[in-house]
Structure 1
Amino acid sequence: MDLDELADALYSAPPGEFVATRDDAVRAARERGDKEFATAAGKLRRPTRAAWLANLLARHRREQLDGLLALATNLADAQRTLDGAALRALSSQRRKLVAGMAREAGRLAREAHEPVTEPLLRELGDILEAALADPVVAEEVRSGRLTRTITYSGFGPDSDPEAAAQRAAEKAAAPPPAETDEPDGGDPSEAARREREREERRRDLADAEAMEATARERRDEAEAGHERAAQEHEQARERVATLTAELDAAQRHERTAAADSREAAAAARAAAREAGTAATRTARARARVEDE
């Protein structure tokens, strides 16, 4: 198995099997002396459950996924031209497709005997929305090897189509700007103030995005820890069940052996009595013979 085959196996299997399967492959590579493969395999990251659902769609519903992602170009064009009617129509189509794809991913997960919840399907919806907004994310989703849960909260051409549609409507309804006697350059101090405000908003956005990225990383780590703990708990439960079954069998064997021992002891006592009676009879018969 090469690295691509291993990755395909890992990212198509349920997340709960990821760590054990990857670690087994790393261990086997080290045993055969393939350090390069072991290092590369060890870097493969377990997907979040929402990312795994996206990977299911990429592997089993590729045509439908490509159809959804094809909306990105039309959405971007409508946003650039501020075509409100087109944006509203495309947004409605987008919502229906995202919801339908999320439901289909849930059905695929249940076929694999993996539980799904509404919050989890909403996280998948966030991933699909992010893929529509960002071509880089779209390629990650198409790869079938997504590892992270992604949401998109940016600004500009790839922002929320509903917001862009609202901006288009507001622009169409807004009256033309009033003419003033202010020179073209405007008040330099006012321009500087607006620039400072814009810069402050940009810094606030950067700080918020950094905090969000950190929080999501912590969440991913917590989910991975929970997955490992749940797997260990399940293994421990299976071990307890096995040991309990072995204990029950041993106790039944001990009870049977004790009963057999009691029966054997009773038989030994009866045999000893019979032997004593026979010895007494023999002694009496010998005495009579000697008296003749």
Structure 2
Amino acid sequence: MDLDELADALYAAPPADFVATRDEAVRAARERGDKEFATAAARLRRPTRAAWLANLLARHRRDQLDGLLGIAASLADAQRTLDGAALRALSSQRRKLVAGMAREAGRLAREAHEPVSDSLLRELGDILEAALADPVVADEVRSGRLTRTITYSGFGPGSDPDAVVQRAAEKAAAPEPADAAEPAEAEPAEDPAEVARRERERAERRRDLADAEAMEATARERRDAAEAEHERAEQEHERARERVASLTAELDAAQRHERTAAADSREAAAAARAAAREAGTAATRTARARARVEEA
């Protein structure tokens, strides 16, 4: 089994089986002297339960998953062009698809005899929403080897912090362009103070966005570090449990052996006492017989 085959097997299996299966593969690799495989296999991280549900979709419902993620480009186009009607329609479609995919993942999990809760399905929905907003996350989800639960707190793919949405009614009320032959009326010059105010607002929005992105990046780093530490702690706990189980089994065997040995010792002591009594009786009989022979 190469590393890809091991990874496919691990991320397809329920998360509860992940650590034991991976560690067994690492031990086998070390025993056969394949240190490179052992090191690479040990780096494979157990998925969260929500990530495992996403992996189920990538493996068993790939066409439906691609269909959901395929609307990301349309959402981005609608945001860039400020097409409110298209954005509303796509957002409604997105919500229905995400909810449907979450339900399907729950059904697949139950077929694998894995329980799912509403909160777990909501976490999966967060992952799918993040995949729609971030192409990098979408690739992670498509890989079928997602390990972490991801949430997205931005405004969506390709959002422009300086954009101002024009309402449909305003578009309809906008005057048609004047005929080229007719002279256009001169538009009044904008108030410089108003222009400056709008520039300040745009600059402020840009700063707010930069601050929010920096905070989000820091939070993601903290989350990833915490997840890595959690994974390390769980692995250590699992190894400790295995060691306790092994030592407990050894102790039970030693105690059984001690009890058997004690019983054997007691039986041997009783047999030795009986043999001593028999030897004494035989010695007495021998002495009496010898005395009678001498008297004769």
Q: Do the two structures share a fold, i.e. TM-score over 0.5?
A: yes
Measure, in 2, the Cα distance between the counterparts of 1:135 and 1:64.
17
Measure, in 2, the Cα distance between the counterparts of 1:110 and 1:78.
37
1:179-232 CA-to-partner distances (Å, cap 9, x unmatched) read: xx9843x23233223212211221221111221222122222222322332333
User: Once the 2 structures are TM-superposed, how far is the Cα of residue 38 of structure 1 from its aligned partner?
Assistant: 7.8
**8 Å Cα contact 1:30/1:38 also seen in 2:** no
Measure, in 1, the Cα distance between the counterparts of 2:58 and 2:126.
16
Alignment of 1:172 with 2:169, yes or no, is yes
Alignment of 1:251 with 2:241, yes or no, is no
**8 Å Cα contact 1:59/1:144 also seen in 2:** yes
TM-aligned CA distance change 1:139 to 1:242, over 3 Å: closer
Farther-moved stretch of structure 1 (139-148 vs 37-46): 37-46
Q: Match of 2:272, SS? A: helix
TM-aligned CA distance change 1:74 to 1:198, over 3 Å: closer
Find the counterpart in structure 1 of residue 139 from structure 2: 139
TM-aligned CA distance change 1:182 to 1:43, over 3 Å: farther
Find the counterpart in structure 2 of residue 69 from structure 1: 69
Farther-moved stretch of structure 1 (58-67 vs 46-55): 46-55
TM-aligned CA distance change 1:194 to 1:158, over 3 Å: same
RMSD: 4.0
Find the counterpart in structure 2 of residue 283 from structure 1: 287
Measure, in 1, the Cα distance between the counterparts of 2:38 and 2:273.
69
Counterpart selection for 1:221 from 206, 215, 225: 225
Find the counterpart in structure 2 of residue 231 from structure 1: 235
TM-aligned CA distance change 1:106 to 1:229, over 3 Å: farther
**TM-score normalised over the length of structure 1:** 0.74
> Residue type matched to 1:50 in 2?
A
Measure, in 1, the Cα distance between the counterparts of 2:288 and 2:111.
87
**What percentage of residue pairs aligned between the two structures are identical?**
79
Measure, in 2, the Cα distance between the counterparts of 1:155 and 1:236.
44
Q: How does 1:95-244 map to 2 (within 5 A)?
A: 95-109=95-109, 116-155=116-155, 158=158, 170-172=167-169, 183-184=188-189, 186-244=190-248
Q: Match of 1:280, SS? A: helix
TM-aligned CA distance change 1:139 to 1:261, over 3 Å: closer
TM-aligned CA distance change 1:33 to 1:154, over 3 Å: closer
TM-aligned CA distance change 1:30 to 1:42, over 3 Å: farther
TM-aligned CA distance change 1:128 to 1:273, over 3 Å: same
User: Once the 2 structures are TM-superposed, how far is the Cα of residue 283 of structure 1 from its aligned partner?
Assistant: 1.1
**8 Å Cα contact 1:69/1:132 also seen in 2:** yes
User: Once the 2 structures are TM-superposed, how far is the Cα of residue 125 of structure 1 from its aligned partner?
Assistant: 1.2
**TM-score normalised over the length of structure 2:** 0.73
User: How many residues are matched?
Assistant: 279
Gaps of 5+ in 1: none
**8 Å Cα contact 2:26/2:42 also seen in 1:** no
**8 Å Cα contact 1:52/1:146 also seen in 2:** yes
Measure, in 2, the Cα distance between the counterparts of 1:92 and 1:127.
17
Measure, in 1, the Cα distance between the counterparts of 2:283 and 2:290.
10
Measure, in 1, the Cα distance between the counterparts of 2:45 and 2:246.
32
TM-aligned CA distance change 1:279 to 1:106, over 3 Å: same
**8 Å Cα contact 2:26/2:41 also seen in 1:** no
Measure, in 2, the Cα distance between the counterparts of 1:40 and 1:249.
37
TM-aligned CA distance change 1:110 to 1:232, over 3 Å: farther
**8 Å Cα contact 2:10/2:22 also seen in 1:** yes
Counterpart selection for 1:24 from 13, 23, 26: 26
TM-aligned CA distance change 1:243 to 1:6, over 3 Å: closer
TM-aligned CA distance change 1:231 to 1:33, over 3 Å: closer
